[in-house]
Amino acid sequence: MRKILFLSIVATALLTLPSLSGAADYPSQPVKVIVPFSQGGSTSVTALYFQKIIQEKKLLSGVPMPVVHMPGAGGTVGARTVKDAAPDGYNILLWHVGMCGSEAMGNIDFSHKDFTPIAATGSQSYCITVSDASPYKTLQELFDAAKAKPDTITAGANLGAASHIGLVLAEKAAPGVRFRYVQSGSTSKIYAALLGGHVEVGLLGTPTLRQVASKGVRPLAILAQQRDPAFPNVPTLKELGYDVDYSMTNWWLGPKNMPADVVAQLEKNFKAAMDTPEMAKNFDSSSMALDFLGSEALGLSIEAQCKSINAIAKRLRGEK
């Protein structure tokens, strides 16, 4: 009797333990995507692209994939929500290189190591941009002015975020160039600040530039390996002699210690969505590249990017 009772207790305990390998019945409920920004930005648009295709093609066994926008503190409010969630695959985060910037700025008490990389899906490039009224017609003219009078040319940025990081990396590649950074907020607000003459330069993503092409701003150079087909006359920084290759890749992340088989299933589903003609059309219309990285490759990429951004941490924080 004692043996039977013992086996019964063990069996009951095993049934009530949380599953360490959830893919057998995963997903059995909605998979929530947290976008840590307001609606309308490129991260939000990307999340909605994937939501539509994944649900229409039943790539997550037909369960819903609601997208929840949770803006605040440069993305860190939504990120913390996912970090603190159960690592069961039902709460995932869509973020980007801004996480490394928040680490370098000291704005968060957690890091990229507190998340499980799932996949990277697509990227957008950035252009150093001025208004049409600007006296700077080329990147070299802008850089020469910023060298001659350091810390005087105003640069609109969301401090610590992608728009700030890219300009500081450009500074690093052009010793002596120093802008005076002004907190402008999101990309749309940087665009408005350029038009209004409140700042002299800003970093705008190619999706934004494609929307506002010929509407008051002039891209001088793109921080990518090659020119963007939508802007064939805009040279890369590398063409101009500056070793900068910077883009914003969409990172899908989960809480730390997610089961490997759940991660593998999500990675497979995101890749399947990426491979559809619909996604290719969506990304082309948004001027985003169809890059893809699996979980392991994304982890290595995030590690490398955060390392390079930590190297410019003092400048990001405004220190000498």
- Domain limits, the chain: 30-123+248-314, 125-246
Asked if domains 30-123+248-314 and 125-246 share a fold, the reply is yes
CA separation (Å) from 36 to 21, 247, 259, 317? Answer: 28, 19, 23, 22
Q: pLDDT-derived band of residue 12, with 50, 70 and 90 as boundaries?
A: very low
Q: Are 82 and 255 in contact (CB under 8 A)?
A: yes
Neighbours of 49 (CB within 10 A): 23
- In angstroms, the CA 89 to CA 258 distance is 7
Tokens of 247: 């883009």
Half-sphere exposure of 51 (CA within 13 A, CB side): 19
Average pLDDT rounded to a whole number, residues 189-218: 90
CATH topology of domain 30-123+248-314: D-Maltodextrin-Binding Protein; domain 2 (3.40.190)
* Degrees to nearest 5, angle at CA 86 with 81 and 92: 55
Q: Give CA–CA dist 56/65, Å, rounded.
A: 11
State the Cα angle at 90 between 89 and 93, rounded to 5°: 80
Considering Cα of 142, then 148, then 149, then 151, what sign does the dihedral take?
positive
Question: Given pLDDT bands bounded at 50, 70 and 90, which one contains residue 5?
Answer: very low
Among 56-60, 208-212, 314-318, the least confident range = 208-212
Give burial (CB, 10 Å; 0-12/13-18/19+) of 8. exposed
Average predicted confidence (pLDDT) for the chain: 90
Torsion-angle region of 312 (φ positive above 0: left; ψ -120 to 50: alpha; else: beta): alpha
Backbone phi and psi for residue 71, each to the nearest 5 degrees, phi listed first: -70, 160
CATH 3.40.47.40 is held by the domain 125-246 = no
Classify strands 67-69 and 154-157 as parallel, antiparallel or unpaired. unpaired
Report DSSP letters for 281-293, one per residue.
HHHHHTT-EEEEE
pLDDT tens column, 276-306: 999 999 999 888 899 999 999 999 999 999 9
* Pair 76, 103: CB distance under 8 Å: no
Say what the pLDDT of residue 89 is: 97
Q: Are strands 32-35 and 180-183 parallel, antiparallel or unpaired?
A: unpaired
Token duo for residue 143: 């850089």
What pLDDT, in 10s, does the model give residues 236-274? 999 999 999 999 999 999 999 999 999 999 999 999 999
CA-nearest of 77, 72, 107 to 93 is 77
CA dist., res. 229 & res. 308, Å (int): 28
Q: Please tell me the pTM assigned to this model.
A: 0.85
In the predicted model, what is the mean pLDDT of residues 139-150? 98
In the structure, what pLDDT confidence band is assigned to residue 185 with cuts at 50, 70 and 90? Answer: confident
**What is the per-residue pLDDT across 106-129, written as a single tens digit (0 to 9) for each?**
989 999 999 999 999 999 999 999
Q: How many CA atoms lie within 13 A of 22 on its CB side?
A: 19
Report whether 34 contacts 92 (CB < 8 A).
Answer: yes
CA distance linking residue 163 with residue 186, whole number of Å: 8
| Residue whose structure tokens are 């002004």 | 182
Q: How far is 59 from 51, CA to CA, in rounded Å?
A: 10
